[in-house]
Amino acid sequence: MRYLPLTDTDRQAMLSVVGAATIDDLFVDVPEAARLSGPIAGLPMHASEMAVERHMSALAARNTVAGQVPFFLGCGAYRHHVPASVDHIIQRGEFLTAYTPYQPEIAQGTLQVMFEFQTQVARLLGTDVANASMYDGSTACWEAIGMARRITKRAKAILSPGLHPHYVSVAKTMAKYTGDALDTALPTLDDDFGIDALIAKIDGETSCVVVQYPDILGRIADLSALADACHANKALLVAVVTEPVALGAIRSPGEMDADIVVGEGQSLGVGLQFGGPYVGLFGCKDKYVRQMPGRLCGETVDAEGKRGFVLTLSTREQHIRREKATSNICTSSVLCALAMSAHMTLLGEAGLRRLADLNHLGAVSAADRLAEVPGVELVNGAFFNEFTLKLTKEARPVVRALADRGILAGVSLGRLYPGAAALANGLVVAVTETTTEDDVEALAQALAEELA
Amino acid sequence: MSINPAGWRPERPETAANAAPATVTGNRALMLEEPLIFEVGSTLTTGVDLAEPPAGKPRLGTLERTTTIGLPGLSEPEAMRHYTRLSRQNYAIDLGLFPLGSCTMKHNPRLNEKMARLPGFADVHPLQPVDTVQGALGVIQELAVWLITLTGMHGVAMSPKAGAHGELCGILAIKAALEAKGEGHRKVILVPESAHGTNPATAAFAGYTVENIPATDEGRVDSAALIARLGPDVAAVMITNPNTCGLFERDMKTISDAVHAVGGFVYCDGANFNAIVGKVRPGDLGIDAMHINLHKTFSTPHGGGGPGSGPVVLSEALSPFGPLPFVAKHADGHFALVEEETAGDDHPQSFGRMVAFHGQMGMFTRALTYILSHGADGLKQVAEDAVLNANYILRSLEGTLSAPYAASGPCMHEALFSDDGFPEGFSTLDVAKGLIDEGFHPMTVYFPLVVHGAMLVEPTETESKAGIDQFVAALRSVAERARAGDATLKTAPHFAPRSRLDETQAARKPVLVWKDAPLAQAAE
């Protein structure tokens, strides 16, 4: 077996050093009744690289590849072009096959990447600090609600109707066990981001308001007044960004005084991968850093005075604090954070701004073209690279029919909000730099036919 | 033709003349210092060529960005060099033995990487219509069948993102099952004191009170004490098996039966499943829930600290309470995705959703590739070789280092040593740093907490005998230097990219992001 270096001669020699006659002598502590005598029945035996490759390729061939069809899906995962060098960098064995940097003297590579990532993310989100990553956006969002509870010592969170419904679902699951009360509502199929309604809900028991920006329908709004209203009531504003490329074109939530900004970093460097692994972003104001979940890397010096980096503030974490930790999180998403960081380094400020412009202006042009289709109405006034169309029919069957014609048309609100009749005609369309004019034209024409 | 017609040949310099001089750059040949991107990049530089944006007026309302983000850019060659230089400051499995106990640092096959990058897996959106992702759902389903079969369990929740997230999944399923039985008042979870820190942290998060159960002198959970503590207030026990002392919990089945008899559930921390995969099925030991770290047993890369992936296998009693979404296979071979919409019919007792999408798909493809490569026979050999390697290390070093549980029988996948016998002023940390100079990553240190100055060595099955012999010789030498009071160990490592780092300063005055300030000031 190609991954096992020991030869039978080695095994015999080692068994004699150990003082065991057979390998099963080393499993004597397993009760006899539970010991398996041979390979588990009903499972295949080992296979060559070629055979495995054939099997996996056959499975892969049963999926419609986003890059091979006109493709318009977003809603928390976005298709962007990732430079070839990013994938090469994350496949460096020294990054790929390293562990969590518990021995900093021989892990400065990963640690410096973490420090650079933290800085890039903090700047992008507009926060003072950021951590070295979370599992994904949805878990980061939940952790932010928990953090707001610890800081404010209040347990009532108001979730904006524009928050991704799966993020709401995750928060609801967790809230059942922590006792947080979550105020939730369905979005409406119009251009109202809902700032005023959120402000009206804040009271002296509110721990935080959680608002997605751009929201699930692609709407954007100034968060400053909401932040002020939160702070007037000693509550926190948590902003959620699922499309970080947007922050190349629009003001960051941190600039608008959000206290905690979390997000999904997948757009930059990571790729779609059917939903994971992704990379959760988590930033906040300096004063809250000791209540943050997740790993943090900090700068220090070595015994010779040279700059170096270490994991720090670990007294928040489970391996030190056990049941008193700020979170049970252990693993983060460092390899994806490296991919995101490398992509941001390659883009730089100029590249990210241009990428954002490409996305936005491409989306504006696509929105206008699609709005010309009879039976299609553009819901959003302002948006970044994702907008919602209101169709004259239920959108979900339309999406299915378009998939049969080889067009992945977007995400129907019926998929995200099953049973919500008022949303059923909504179709969320994302346009990125990978979308061509031909793609948009193909969608417009197919949509016209489906709606006719 | 000779390159040196004068006949001069390099020769070995005299020792005295060989003292290393300081270099202007701070570099030492292949050991290259690398500044931060913020120190070398510029906001005007980019390493990506992008098309001209189409004409048109922005539609951003009043939100157009007016400030600079402050993101430095590098051209592609500069970026490649930056990350390549940084990578060389890392130890990695690809460089050598990485014996972190309980972390299972095994070889990461490159076929896994290749398969995960097939466009049919890598370039598929999680919200595509299910008819367009039948292959992806097929991977999830096929891996699920393997995990269920290998563990002898009833069901599996695939969506947890990592081990600790899997623990949470298991505990939430247990809580939901207890509530469904009208037993929601049970508030205690028993955790052995040798447990990973995630166990008590998870239990506390789910609202439980954690009570620690002591270990016996032989390094196993005190099953008598545990069984004596069982009662109507106990919701569950969380046991790591094989445990973090590297021993198999012989009484596991007895404990499980006792817990079930009083109406509780058994959670098993499956971090150490590599020792028993294909040899023992946890389902046969009465386990109700166990997470499997795909990044440990099933070789998906650790990547410097994630992403992980933590599917949780569930007993028949817990399966109805597992999270959404999950993949169901219909009689006609079609795969369906059970989400909130249809859960009411198919899975009404689910405790809910844990993540936005379907779990770590990229890790599923890698793990399935690995599993298919090994097959049922290969996986059994994995466990056997992992256990043999660990026992070989235990017996090779027990004369040099104190091995507190060496008499407790064979170890499983990892060998545990303590700092007993080190002279005043020498600690496990010094041994770890000494090993770095010898070219090895140190073992897990100061864990588990039940042993003073613990050193937990897990070689895994992907090490050759020669490689292990070299490691044993190195560790023996370093341990002997510690015993002899060799002062140079106190300042090790001497040959790493950095000497010992000041972690106290890092925590006291945290510098977590780069500020545009001279380095000397930032370091103060």
pLDDT higher than 80, residue A322: no
Report the length, in residues, of chain A: 452
Q: What is the pLDDT of residues A34-83, one digit of tens each?
A: 999 899 988 999 999 999 999 999 999 999 999 999 999 999 999 999 99
d(CA A216, CA A388): 9
- Quick one: B191 and B282 in the same domain? yes
Q: What is the pLDDT of residues B466-481, one digit of tens each?
A: 999 999 999 999 999 9
Q: What is the pLDDT of residues B440-463, one digit of tens each?
A: 999 999 999 889 999 999 999 999
> What per-residue confidence (pLDDT) applies to B518?
44
d(CA B189, CA B208): 6
Cβ–Cβ contact B20 with A under 8 A: no
What's B323's DSSP letter?
A: P
B369: left (phi over 0), alpha (psi -120 to 50) or beta: alpha
What ipTM does the predicted assembly reach?
0.97
Which of chain B's residues have a Cβ under 8 Å away from the Cβ of A118? 512-513
Structural domain includes residue B84: no
Of B339, B367, B395, the residue that ends a domain is: B367
d(CA A141, CA A436): 33
Cβ A302–B502 below 8 Å, yes or no? yes
Best mutation target among A110, A285, A317, A328 (most B Cβ atoms within 10 Å) is: A328
* Average pLDDT value for residue range A14-43: 94
Integer CA distances (angstroms), B461 to A244, B277, B376, B434, B470, in order: 41, 12, 16, 24, 16
Chain A residue whose CA is closest to B72: A348
- B133 beta partners: A63
Of B367, B400, B428, the residue that ends a domain is: B367
> What per-residue confidence (pLDDT) applies to B20?
77
CB-CB contact of A110 with B304 (8 Å): yes
- Quick one: B355 and B476 in the same domain? no
State the smallest CA–CA distance between residue A136 and chain B in angstroms.
8
For chain A, percent helix, then strand, then coil, each to nearest 5? 45, 15, 40
Which of chain B's residues have a Cβ under 8 Å away from the Cβ of A419? 341
pLDDT higher than 70, residue B13: no
Structural domain includes residue B30: no
Domains and CATH numbers, chain A: 66-81+349-451 (3.90.1150.10), 84-343 (3.40.640.10)
Cβ B385–A11 below 8 Å, yes or no? yes
Question: Residue A409's pLDDT band (boundaries 50, 70, 90)?
Answer: very high
The helix (H) or strand (E) run that includes residue B508 is helix B503-508
Tell me the residues of chain B between 217 and 246 that have a Cβ less than 8 Å away from chain A.
none
> What per-residue confidence (pLDDT) applies to B523?
35
pLDDT higher than 90, residue A25: yes
- Quick one: B343 and B402 in the same domain? no
**Residue B263: CA count within 13 A, CB half-sphere:** 17
Q: Which residues of A362-375 are buried (b: 16+ CB within 10 A; e: fewer)?
A: bbbbbbeebeebeb
Tokens of residue B324, six digits: 């959404």
- Quick one: B173 and B310 in the same domain? yes
Cβ B135–A128 below 8 Å, yes or no? no
pLDDT higher than 80, residue B358: yes
Cβ A318–B200 below 8 Å, yes or no? yes
Q: Is A238 helix (H, G, I), strand (E, B) or coil?
A: strand
d(CA B423, CA A318): 31
Chain B residue whose CA is closest to A367: B59
Tokens of residue B246, six digits: 């590297």
For every residue of B264-305, DSSP letters joined together read -EEEEEGGGGGGTTTTB-GGGGT-SEEE--TTTTT----TTT
- A281 beta partners: A263
Neighbours of B474 (CB within 10 A): 17
Helix A437-451 with A395-404: angle, nearest 10 deg: 120
Query: Whole domain around residue B451: which residue ranges?
Result: 376-505
Cβ–Cβ contact B77 with A under 8 A: no
Cβ B87–A334 below 8 Å, yes or no? no
B341 exposure class (CB count in 10 Å sphere: 0-12, 13-18, 19+) = middle
Of B336, B367, B398, the residue that ends a domain is: B367
Best mutation target among A245, A274, A310, A313 (most B Cβ atoms within 10 Å) is: A274
- B375 beta partners: A45
Mean residue pLDDT across chain A: 96
pLDDT higher than 60, residue B149: yes
d(CA B286, CA B277): 16
What's B480's DSSP letter?
A: H
Structural domain includes residue B33: no
> What per-residue confidence (pLDDT) applies to B312?
98
Tokens of residue A202, six digits: 């804040």
State the smallest CA–CA distance between residue A48 and chain B in angstroms.
6
Count up the domains in chain B and report the number: 2
Q: What is the pLDDT of residues B19-41, one digit of tens each?
A: 678 899 989 999 999 999 999 99
**Of B63, B162, B339, Cβ closest to residue A250:** B63
Structural domain includes residue B101: no
d(CA A360, CA A355): 9
> What per-residue confidence (pLDDT) applies to A389?
98
> What per-residue confidence (pLDDT) applies to B519?
37
pLDDT higher than 80, residue B331: yes
CB-CB contact of A18 with B397 (8 Å): no
- Quick one: B224 and B309 in the same domain? yes
Mean residue pLDDT across chain B: 93
Q: What is the pLDDT of residues B66-108, one digit of tens each?
A: 999 999 999 999 999 999 999 999 999 999 999 999 899 999 9
- Quick one: B341 and B441 in the same domain? no
Which of chain A's residues have a Cβ under 8 Å away from the Cβ of B360? 276-277
- Quick one: B305 and B400 in the same domain? no
pLDDT higher than 90, residue B243: yes
| Tokens 């004596």, located at residue | B228
Integer CA distances (angstroms), B399 to A7, A393, B386, B396, B472, in order: 26, 78, 21, 7, 12
Chain B residue whose CA is closest to A256: B63
CB-CB contact of B456 with B416 (8 Å): yes
> What per-residue confidence (pLDDT) applies to B521?
36
Cβ A122–B107 below 8 Å, yes or no? no
pLDDT higher than 80, residue B431: yes
Cβ–Cβ contact B81 with A under 8 A: no
pLDDT higher than 80, residue B17: no
What's A101's DSSP letter?
A: -
Best mutation target among B498, B508, B519 (most A Cβ atoms within 10 Å) is: B498
State the smallest CA–CA distance between residue B123 and chain A in angstroms.
5
In chain A, the percentage of residues whose pLDDT exceeds 70 is 98
Which of chain A's residues have a Cβ under 8 Å away from the Cβ of B375? 39, 43-47
3-state SS string over B363-420? HHHHHHHHHHHHHHHHHHHHHHHHHHHHHHHHHHHCCCCECCCHHHCCCCCCEEEECC
CB-CB contact of B275 with B412 (8 Å): yes
Is the bond into B232 cis (omega within 30 degrees of 0)?
A: no
d(CA B42, CA B57): 28
Tokens of residue A102, six digits: 């518990």
